[in-house]
Amino acid sequence: MNKDIAIVTDSTSDLDGRLAEEKNISVVPLNLHFAEEVYKDGIDLNNEDFFRKLETAPVPPRTSQPSPGELHELYKTLLGSGYKGIISIHISRELSGTWQSATIAREMLPEEDIIVIDSKSASMGLGLAVLSTWEKIQAGASIAEAAEYARGLNKQQKILFGVATLEYLHRNGRIGRAAKAIGGLLNVKPVLTIDSDGFVGPLGKVRGMNKFIPYLLDGAAEFVQGHPGPIDIAVVHAQDPQLAEDVLQQAKNRIAVNNSYVAKIGSVIGTHTGPGTIGMVVQKS
């Protein structure tokens, strides 16, 4: 394992904790605020308890980025443990202030080799970018080569996801009012994406789950059509692991897959998407 370059990301990557630990990927948590109570994403509140609180909270929770000080301390710890440089890859700056906190933390260590990257993605879009960059480093890439590779990965990704209601995205300011109207139509399920600039936007709409899953699969297959090699894929879910496994298997029946993952949507992403979310990320190598 390469001990020269450390990788840092944040909890919106929805990476499995054991996988991140196995690969020595440092994950800094965002904050979740239920009224006066503050929780560290993925640390203080498990997935089941979070969604239970989300659905019963009288006041919607809000989220906040880690402070520059937290990232500064993490960077110092990694550099003090022997790493010569750090690549810090984070959720789209259009969706969170985490990238800005990381940038400030880097400026507090001007003599060190720290590169902060806006993934222009979120959830396992960010997660796949982090894992692929880790593989690039293990294959011998320099910090500059790995960073340049990481910057281009959002153009190699297609993100498709559906929410049970657009209310959570709307009330947290992650999608416009016009798109909210889609969710008011009877049994219409909006299909959303994160575009190449890092914004959440509508991709289409289908009537009913029986048409939604084929829409996801068709969109993924179309995106990778003609790609010469296998692709990486992640299916993310909010408390429906069986559906996620089924979607992944259907995708594997249609697409040559290299690495595949099923991931739980964490507290911060779940605050904005709500329960009942299912999504897919495909990434060309």
Domain ranges of the chain: 5-153, 156-284
- Give dist(CA 202, CA 63) in Å, integer: 23
pLDDT at 201: 84
- Give dist(CA 56, CA 105) in Å, integer: 36
pLDDT at 1: 65
DSSP state of 156: G
CB < 8 Å & 24+ apart, contacts of 38-44: 39/267, 41/11, 41/12, 41/266, 41/267, 41/268, 42/11, 42/17, 42/266, 42/267
DSSP state of 231: E
List the one residue out of 131, 129, 126 whose CA is nearest residue 20.
Answer: 131
CB < 8 Å & 24+ apart, contacts of 14-21: 14/123, 14/124, 14/126, 14/127, 14/236, 14/263, 14/264, 14/265, 14/266, 14/269, 15/124, 15/127, 15/130, 15/131, 15/263, 16/261, 16/263, 17/42, 19/131
Q: Determine phi and psi for 279, rounding to 5 degrees.
A: -155, 170
Distances (CA, A) of 204 to 14, 174, 189: 25, 17, 9
Q: Which CATH architecture has domain 5-153?
A: 3-Layer(aba) Sandwich (3.40)
pLDDT at 230: 85
DSSP-based three-state secondary structure for 66: coil
Fold topology of 156-284 = Hypothetical Protein Tm841; Chain: A;domain 3 (3.30.1180)
pTM: 0.92
Using left for φ > 0, alpha for ψ between -120 and 50, and beta otherwise, residue 254 falls in alpha
- Give dist(CA 27, CA 91) in Å, integer: 12
Asked if 159 contacts 279 with a C-beta cutoff of 8 angstroms, the reply is: yes
- 22: tokens are 């196995």
- Give dist(CA 3, CA 9) in Å, integer: 17
Q: Each residue's pLDDT tens digit in the chain (285 positions)?
A: 667 999 999 999 999 999 999 999 999 999 999 998 999 998 998 888 999 999 888 888 999 999 999 999 999 999 999 999 999 999 999 999 999 999 999 999 999 999 999 999 999 999 999 999 999 999 999 999 999 999 999 999 999 998 876 676 666 555 554 454 444 554 667 788 998 889 988 888 887 778 889 999 999 999 999 998 889 999 999 989 999 999 999 999 999 999 999 999 999 999 988 888 899 999 997
- Give dist(CA 171, CA 166) in Å, integer: 9
pLDDT at 285: 76
Q: Give the angle subtended at the CA of 46 by the CAs of 247 and 13, to the nearest 5°.
A: 55
pLDDT at 229: 85
